[in-house]
Chain A
């Protein structure tokens, strides 16, 4: 796929080129430094501004019967608050800020990526891995702070016969350490694969249309439209799954099993 793209010369228009991080002000992808303001940074700023403005403008002059923007703010608050209450319990209240920020950041990232010609910052493993690592390390530290060294008892549930322990403990430890990996990889792979698939099917429209007097191009176009709808669902779903799994891991740390 990328090979045929590079035959066009110049920057190439393969399906994987949309994920390139490029500095916005001067320089090329090769000149990236930690201080470069890139297209990824731009969309992160846009996402955070969008969320912050929606929330703060929504509750300014709040009314008893909410206006539409206020409704948006209230619905998103309630959604996360219910999720935390159902999955973590009442002790999870103090982690509401973190979980809400996590959900809104991932949701904004996924949704902003649906705009044509934009950049999906959650489609990079570095972004999703850092978020998952923060969740994992944070949850482990919370677990140790709450339970002390007894947190290691998490790997051997209560009513397990002792002869199973040498088999069960390595499996439990391994599955505990794959949590951040799977969390990061799930979000990254969903976003990357979704957008790549959209790009690949969209690249079929012009050649098929050219070969069959435009009529044939309608088929991949319809498919791309349907897949874009699916991508919107996936964008919300992946943000929801990321957040709810973080809540589940938090629950595991706070009340072991």
Chain B
């Protein structure tokens, strides 16, 4: 197999992990919405955690993107 083709296949495989990230972000906001619906006064408290959690999960998405870009443009 040519290196170029292998790079493209590798980059495509690398972003499969984004499925988990999508479900992670959805889980964070779904728990935020349900906890806010049950107890609206707690929203202010958990908001900080929500944003931190979102940023951390999004970072994993970007690690996957980074590996894909690394495979495509560096090797």
Contact = CB atoms under 8 A, between A and B. Distances in A.
Instruction: Determine the main DSSP class of B at the interface with A.
Output: helix
Contact of A237 (B55, B65, B66): B55
A185 interface: yes
Nearest to A125: B66
Contacts, number: 35
Query: Interface range on chain B: under 10, 10 to 19, 20 to 34, or 35 or more?
Result: 10 to 19
B62 A189 contact: yes
Given A237-B51, A244-B52, A189 B73 contact: no
A81 interface: no
Instruction: Determine the main DSSP class of A at the interface with B.
Output: helix
Contacts of B65: 189, 193
A197 to B, nearest CB: 9
B58 A240 contact: no
Contacts of A118: none
A124 to B, nearest CB: 13
Interface of B: 51-52, 54-56, 58-59, 62-63, 65-66, 73
Lowest 7 A-B CB distances belong to which pairs?
A189-B62, A186-B59, A241-B55, A189-B66, A193-B62, A237-B55, A193-B65
